[in-house]
Structure 1
Amino acid sequence: MASITATAAIAAAPEPVGHYIVVLKDGTDATSFVRNSLAASRAVGVDDIYSHALSGYSAKMTAEAAAALAKDPLVQWVQPDKTVSIAAQTLPTGVNRVDADLSPTARINNVDERVNVDVAVIDTGIQLTHPELNVYTAGAKNCNDGTSANDLNGHGTHVAGTIGAIDNTAGVVGVAPGARLWPVRVLNRDGTGTWAQVICGINYVTAHASEIEVVNMSLGGSGFDDGDCGRTNGDALHLAICTSVAAGVTYAVAAGNSASDAALFVPAAYDEVITVSTLADYNGLPGGGATGCSSAPDDTRSPTSNFGDDVDLIAPGFCIYSTWIGSLYKTLSGASMASAHVAGGAALWKATHPAATPASVRTSLQAAAVPVLGIPEKLLNVATF
């Protein structure tokens, strides 16, 4: 008996259809080509015909059909289509490290839902027209030279972005997205000013204490705290801050960058403010091991950061990407950047606890903060705010 062998054919799977762009040679009419040539039969479906920017069309076809079409004498080339998207918003490492992306008040989800809180930035001003910042221009004040509060240095704009850059689909996002930012310029384009100008800024904020909940002051100079709010030692800056705090305004200030005891610098030394030291964090994650813009080890206090009993919290301050003048973005490091994260955290707390006093804001931030190995002060964490 003759043997029988199965000879049933196995049907080959159809070649997948992809999207392609067909560019025709100069002078070729794309509409006529698609209508009259064999090209149309090679395409499963023609999507768009181009006749102005170039001569060609887009279509769905198999890779085999695309390869055959590329040999047509009227075709310049055929290329696979690719997916593009809007320029994605960056979650800065510092905002990530303090868990602002987990905060139910911050609601960081690429949707512009602004935190209802007012934060004054006593600094070099803020770029009044930066598209990423909700600048309250009606509240702008210049104590430096009496002209505009527009930022000519960049520092204040950078700080402002960390505090409250808008949550959208571009640029960066802040700790308290979309917070109303009051630009109070007390420093010039070189980043310097006088205590009189700073006090002018504090005076302005205090006059608006019913509107402004939080202030960031990423500035400082030599001085000390005698514990008497400046009433007996001739410290007008301390007296001004104490009066402002008593009016209900919470102040976040930089510990400084002198690798010294913060007790030797004001306003960092004052008990009435929230003083912030600088964490070296390069990837927004706990655990160390990452490298970045400095030789300082990841997850350590910055070697330049001030320290001591006057420091209330630590926050990310290395390689911080934020807004910059000219509607741009820039990476900076320092205690200024760390303070801005805490100001944003205080803003989140005040947004949901409007009756909280500055002292209770500080204790609430400290209670929610998390330990970092080898650092006495705890790290800001706003996940539950």
Structure 2
Amino acid sequence: MRTRIATAGFAVATALFVAGSAPAIGATAAPGPTSKVIVALRPGADPGAVAADHQRSRGASVTHLYRHALTGYAASLTPAAARSLADDPRVLRVMPDHEVRMSAQILPPGVDRVGADESFAASGNGRGAVDVDIAVLDTGIDAKHRDLNVVGGVNCVQGNNSFLDLNGHGTHVAGIAAAKDNSTGVVGVAPGARLWAVRVLDAGGSGLWSSILCGIDWVTAHAGTIEVANMSLGGSGASGSCTDHGMREAICRSTAAGVTYVVAAGNAGADSAGFVPATYDEVITVSAIADFDGRPGGVGAPTCQVGHDDTLAHFSNYGADVDLTAPGVCVTSTWRGGGYRSISGTSMASPHVAGAAALFLATHAGASPAQVRDALVSTGSPDWVGDPDPTHEPLLDVSGL
């Protein structure tokens, strides 16, 4: 079974290491139908050795090895061979690999609305630069875009060896978080922050859980460098636990390593409790509001799409799992090919908060992910309406950071 994950605008892209990506282990084609699975191994097991053994004995075509956020591998093999893996005492759990998909729409002028021009980096004054590293787990990033400080990355999507963006969504997300303050194009919430392109979604904006796990695994291995990770992607799923041997456990281990994860709530207009990774406690989950004029008051006229100023976006997920809200309608940002575009989605709201997390960490080095979340929530503003649930999440406000 394959389950789609979407960008919020959800987009999933895979990432290959600039150096050190786990190569497929001499995959052999299996006749007939195949199952894509993620295999979690018991502590102490060597993923490379077990995967090689399963290649020989069961015809597994291995696509990813996981050594940091998870111990295991991903592979394709016949349904019968997949079922037989449970007989191996080294195997903890065999899970179906799920598909994810982006659901990007459009984006508004959010930098002004969240007060980024009043933060210590003063976005828009032509001098701001933030000394923090942000990983963007998405469709990749246009590394040649003059408005972005892309310093490296990895590709986790099969059939491609580059982290460059073939869709546009990942480049858009990157610009919202950290476009340079260089008097051209746009400026991000954390201008000039170093960007790492972790490609976990393909050119169509879709991807698999195995690719996302590859990205999380890579970020965890580089936790000494990367402080913030943005995931503007998601799909339906259960909350799991920090011992589920799957994506929740990988996120738990990565946050324990010190990486702050910011994720989109989703674009289904539903309770985010049914969506992953939005429902995970360890991440900062972000919903989207419509803001057409960069100011409170609810008087801005609609721009790229119909809506009401300073209200929850009609597509945005909501609920108790949401920590913050941020602009996510008609947001203009960078685009692949050196250009710019306006799109909407909770995918656009999330990187506003990722940029805010970078701002906070620039002046509070070593703060834990929980401390980052608490700080951003405590400084938020109540100046928006239309929350369908009892808890009114604050609107991001970085003016005091």
TM-score range, shorter chain: 0.7 to 0.9
Question: Tell me, what secondary structure is at the counterpart of 2:351?
Answer: helix
Whether 1:99 aligns to 2:112 is no
Give the equivalent residue in structure 2 for 1:382. 398
Q: Percent identity at matched positions?
A: 56
CA offset at residue 373 of structure 1?
Answer: 4.1
CA offset at residue 303 of structure 1?
Answer: 1.2
Give the equivalent residue in structure 1 for 2:322. 311
CA offset at residue 106 of structure 1?
Answer: 4.2
Give the equivalent residue in structure 1 for 2:148. 133
Give the equivalent residue in structure 1 for 2:134. 119
Q: Is the 8 A contact 2:177 2:351 kept in 1?
A: yes
- Whole-Å separation in 2 of the counterparts to 1:219 and 1:155: 10
Question: Tell me, what secondary structure is at the counterpart of 1:241?
Answer: helix
Whether 1:256 aligns to 2:256 is no
Q: Is the 8 A contact 1:315 1:339 kept in 2?
A: yes
Give the equivalent residue in structure 1 for 2:362. 351
Whether 1:238 aligns to 2:248 is yes
- Whole-Å separation in 1 of the counterparts to 2:333 and 2:306: 21
Give the equivalent residue in structure 2 for 1:159. 173
Alignment partner of 1:218 out of 213, 226, 232: 232
In the alignment, structure 1 segments of 5+ residues that lack a partner are 1-91
Whether 1:266 aligns to 2:282 is no
Aligned-partner residue type, residue 206 of structure 1? T
Give the equivalent residue in structure 2 for 1:58. none
Where do residues 44-55 of structure 1 align in structure 2 (5 Å cutoff)?
A: none
Aligned-partner residue type, residue 323 of structure 2? D
Give the equivalent residue in structure 2 for 1:39. none
- Whole-Å separation in 1 of the counterparts to 2:122 and 2:191: 6
Q: Is the 8 A contact 2:181 2:187 kept in 1?
A: yes
Give the equivalent residue in structure 2 for 1:53. none
- Whole-Å separation in 1 of the counterparts to 2:384 and 2:287: 15
CA offset at residue 340 of structure 1?
Answer: 0.7
- Whole-Å separation in 2 of the counterparts to 1:188 and 1:339: 20
> Which structure carries more relative contact order (alpha carbon 8 Å, separation 6+)?
2
- Whole-Å separation in 2 of the counterparts to 1:168 and 1:201: 30
Give the equivalent residue in structure 2 for 1:197. 211
CA offset at residue 134 of structure 1?
Answer: 0.3
Q: Is the 8 A contact 1:106 1:348 kept in 2?
A: no
Question: Tell me, what secondary structure is at the counterpart of 1:156?
Answer: helix
- Whole-Å separation in 2 of the counterparts to 1:224 and 1:300: 28
CA offset at residue 348 of structure 1?
Answer: 0.3
- Whole-Å separation in 2 of the counterparts to 1:205 and 1:104: 27
The 1:144–1:106 alpha-carbon spacing in structure 2 relative to 1, beyond 3 Å, is: farther
Aligned-partner residue type, residue 265 of structure 2? A
Residue by residue over 1:28-71, the C-alpha shift from the partner in whole angstroms, topping out at 9 and shown as x without a partner, is xxxxxxxxxxxxxxxxxxxxxxxxxxxxxxxxxxxxxxxxxxxx
Give the equivalent residue in structure 1 for 2:82. none
Give the equivalent residue in structure 2 for 1:14. none
Question: Tell me, what secondary structure is at the counterpart of 1:371?
Answer: coil
CA offset at residue 268 of structure 1?
Answer: 0.1
Aligned-partner residue type, residue 207 of structure 1? A
Q: Is the 8 A contact 1:106 1:115 kept in 2?
A: no
Residue by residue over 1:145-170, the C-alpha shift from the partner in whole angstroms, topping out at 9 and shown as x without a partner, is 34110000000000000000000111
Aligned-partner residue type, residue 181 of structure 2? D
Alignment partner of 2:156 out of 143, 156, 170: 143
Question: Tell me, what secondary structure is at the counterpart of 2:207?
Answer: coil
- Whole-Å separation in 1 of the counterparts to 2:109 and 2:295: 8
Give the equivalent residue in structure 2 for 1:67. none
Residue by residue over 1:217-247, the C-alpha shift from the partner in whole angstroms, topping out at 9 and shown as x without a partner, is 0000111214x32x14x5x111110000000
Q: Is the 8 A contact 2:312 2:384 kept in 1?
A: no
- Whole-Å separation in 2 of the counterparts to 1:332 and 1:349: 26
Q: TM-score, normalised by structure 2?
A: 0.70
Question: Tell me, what secondary structure is at the counterpart of 1:379?
Answer: coil
- Whole-Å separation in 2 of the counterparts to 1:176 and 1:280: 21
- Whole-Å separation in 1 of the counterparts to 2:328 and 2:187: 16
Whether 1:280 aligns to 2:290 is yes
Give the equivalent residue in structure 1 for 2:51. none
CA offset at residue 372 of structure 1?
Answer: 2.4
Aligned-partner residue type, residue 175 of structure 2? G
Q: Is the 8 A contact 2:121 2:191 kept in 1?
A: no
- Whole-Å separation in 1 of the counterparts to 2:113 and 2:235: 29
CA offset at residue 107 of structure 1?
Answer: 5.1
- Whole-Å separation in 2 of the counterparts to 1:217 and 1:186: 10
- Whole-Å separation in 2 of the counterparts to 1:276 and 1:215: 13
The 1:261–1:107 alpha-carbon spacing in structure 2 relative to 1, beyond 3 Å, is: closer
Larger Rg: 1
The 1:373–1:122 alpha-carbon spacing in structure 2 relative to 1, beyond 3 Å, is: closer
Aligned-partner residue type, residue 336 of structure 1? S
CA offset at residue 293 of structure 1?
Answer: 2.0
Aligned-partner residue type, residue 198 of structure 2? V
